[in-house]
A and B are shown apart, each in its own frame.
Chain A
Amino acid sequence: MTPLDPNQLPPSAFVFLIATVVKMLAIFTLYMVVVAYTTLAERKVSAWIQDRHGPNRVGPWGLFQVLADGVKNFMKEETMPGDVNKPLFILAPALAFTTAMIAWAVIPFGAPMPTPWGRIDLVVANMPIGFLYVLAITSLGVYGIVLAGWSSNNKYALLGGLRSSAQMISYEIAMGMSTVCVLLMAGNVSLTAIVAQQQATNYNIVLISVAAFIFLVSAFAETNRVPFDLPEAESELIAGYHAEYSGMKFSMFFIAEYANVITASAMFVTLFLGGWDIPFTTWDNTGQATVLKSLATFAMFAFKLYSFVFFFIWIRWTLPRFRYDQLMSLGWKLMLPTALAYIVIVASAVLALDASGIARTSRLFWMAMGAMNLVLVMILFVILDRGRVISPASSRLQRADVQRLRAATDARSTLSPGETH
């Protein structure tokens, strides 16, 4: 399997500059529109899960709801509560919004596109530090939330901010450890190189499934989404860190949250699901690069990305919230040790397979890794579950209990309307 034909030369400096500006504008616009429509998707999917209609008044199927929401947020009065720390109160939503926006810059979203002026890589900034950049930027995102919590001068907001900083630091470590396994596979942190590695071998979700699982759980915690949305737990903290915000500042936190969801999905897709690669074919990543290939791979990337965003929404409307101590013990006592142990296991397995002369690109390599992962994932899920959720779902009740309940129900249904207990 040869990589994409490099006979298309990289562009000159001038073309590079123009192309980068065009990509920045295009991606920013697209990103904002997608973020806006993700809020609609969330409301629609939640309605669907809860058996209601969801927003359906503005435009066909409620499609213009997003515009109405945007106008509403811009027109609303922005209140400035007394005794807030003004500079930080204003800085906080800006920080949350900015970090959420710029994290996207390194994600490759399609095969390189040939143009008359040279080959254009479909990534805004093809940085050699790849996912380290995303980790760095998302680790800055916590400031927006912490500062919002502190500067509001409100005890609920402060509690939300404190919870969020503790939570994000804890899960950042597990997330970083899970990406070490990706590094072991690809030997490089550049996202373009990681996509190329997955095209050459197999998707990382087959090769390092447990790392994918840990990354997924950490991504939920990092984006403050249910089941880890303790910083804004409305039943305990009103609205947590953004309790004092209104108007567009409030909206900025929400845009940041959805932007983070999309970035986390894009990271998962790129690190573990092959990025823009079209599965089961090598048409997209071999031979001559064409515009059609670029568009097809972009569509594939968008499809994978949006499947994942849907997954995020699905989880939010399915699972209840964790208790705070459960969240912390899950992060430190389970995710981190598992991630560390898994690094050792993967490193040993790769070393053993390399030593026994099995090429990384061979079918045997990914089959061996996949078989190992299947066993490990099953062990992990049995330990995580401890007979509570997965296994009792099929047989929650003893047969005797079922009989007893049925008998009780029958007895109740035979009562005549006037009769009382």
Chain B
Amino acid sequence: MAGSGTAHLRNTVDAVLTVRDLTVEFRVAKDKIVKAVSGLSFDVIRGETLAIVGESGCGKTTLARAVLQLPPPNSGEVVFEGTDLTLLPKENLRSARTSMQMIFQDPISSLDPRMTVHQLIDEPLEIWGRGTRAERDERINNLLNNVGLEPDLVLNRRSYEFSGGQCQRISIARALALDPRMLICDEPVSALDVSIQAQILNLLQDMKDRFGLTMIFISHDLAVVKAVSNRVIVMYLGKICEVAPPETLYTKPAHHYTRALLNSVPIADPTRQTRTELLQGEPPSPMNPPSGCRFRTRCAAATALCAEQEPQLQEVAPGQFVACHHPLA
């Protein structure tokens, strides 16, 4: 049911980021092309947290990087605050990127092990020559205080001396150094212990409120997404299945894939019977996706129509859009 369409775009002036028909392809062999993201559209309104969920390999990370033009997408447009980033010359893009910053999945690999915390956070400030030495030091201290680290204790240490959670705090401080308007978090908590996950999520929420950030939050963990997002996009094999606010999505999923995802969330109650209807098989290869609806090979409700025609996103309830020929009632 994963399909295309732009019905869910809100076309308001408040949209910080609008992505239309974004396609990212990788050439893996001479005539083999992987379509990691194919014809995807979405928008993010100022102050909103958009969550993107989907299983591993469905193109979430590729999508996030394509928004930052790292690497640039093969086609489609990425309009950030009125400017199409795909059309910007290299030098302008360099400065445009600073208003969008990214938090990565692996907190340790996102910090250079040879640099001290001071150097790490100073780096973005230094590139853009923000302020004098003293002003920058002041700023670094403020940032570290903001993310809950004691500057005097951490400034001269290197990333390997910290735990994953602390590294992620440092990453957040570094990302905030340039006063971005948007933060793209690529699975920011999936590499952390559960107890630390909550701390980092709270921290991100705090930072968002304090600095008026707009966030794109990528995750495969539905419980995490529920806690932070205003709107959720469910992705499957590089396409959108469903777009909905979390309350609707979690109680009344309209897409078969969304329901399967929700069913796969473990329930901490040993007396409860395991629920049936778990998905069978592996997702098909993005090199050779199924015709029509991409989810039909694993969908219980698939019919001949699903193989012939690609479903378009349509509104089934206020704010809830689904790309499926046979949406769940």
A and B assemble together? no
Please list the residues of chain B having a beta carbon within 8 angstroms of any beta carbon in chain A. none
